[in-house]
Amino acid sequence: MSSDPATLESMQLVVRGAERALGEQLEFIEARNGKEGIARAWRHAPEVVVADEITSPAGAFALAKDLKETDPPFRGAVIILLERSQDAWLARWSGADAWFVKPVNPFELAESVTRFLGVTREEAV
């Protein structure tokens, strides 16, 4: 989830890196804001959601909180891209599984996405 073209381009690189690591093609679903991201996450049930810290109309923290605190909770991982390190407590509070402070190293993020994809697939077996 992001409205920033540079972040979206970076996310596509992350997906390609995870695809190489996993040896399979992944589906990339884009959302422009948190509200749209929440709706798409519930509709498509992705294994991993990467959300950019934006504030309106619902940001990454609201997205994570909504997905993680429902009954039953969202089964996928939520990763938040933070604007500043001081917001790590908000990421933790929201229930995010991981967070990275911008500028994000796409290789590290791809590794994290790959790790979460591996965990969710092992649980499904």
CATH number at residue 44: 3.40.50.2300
Quick one: pLDDT at residue 57?
Answer: 64
Task: Tell me the pLDDT band of 2, cut-offs 50, 70 and 90.
Answer: low
Is the pLDDT score of 89 beyond 70? yes
**Edge-to-edge order in the sheet of strand 48-52:** 48-52, 77-82, 98-101
Q: Which of 81, 94, 7, 9 is nearest to 50 (CA)?
A: 81
Ranked by mean pLDDT, which of 5-9, 32-36, 83-87, 116-120 comes out on top? 83-87
Task: Tell me the pLDDT band of 12, cut-offs 50, 70 and 90.
Answer: confident
Q: Cα–Cα distance between 50 and 75 in angstroms, integer?
A: 14
Is the pLDDT score of 81 beyond 80? yes
Q: What is the mean pLDDT of residues 40-56?
A: 86
Q: What is the mean pLDDT of residues 6-29?
A: 85
Sequence-separated (6 or more) residues with CB below 8 Å from residue 113: 14, 15, 18, 48, 50, 79
Residue range 28-45, pLDDT digits in tens: 888 888 889 899 999 999
Helix/strand/coil (H/E/C) assignment for every residue in 47-84: CEEEEECCCCCCCHHHHHHHHHCCCCCCCCEEEEEECC
Its domain, for residue 85, covers: 5-124
Domain count of the fold of the chain = 1
Q: Cα–Cα distance between 95 and 90 in angstroms, integer?
A: 9
Quick one: pLDDT at residue 124?
Answer: 43
Tell me the two tokens of residue 50: 């990467």
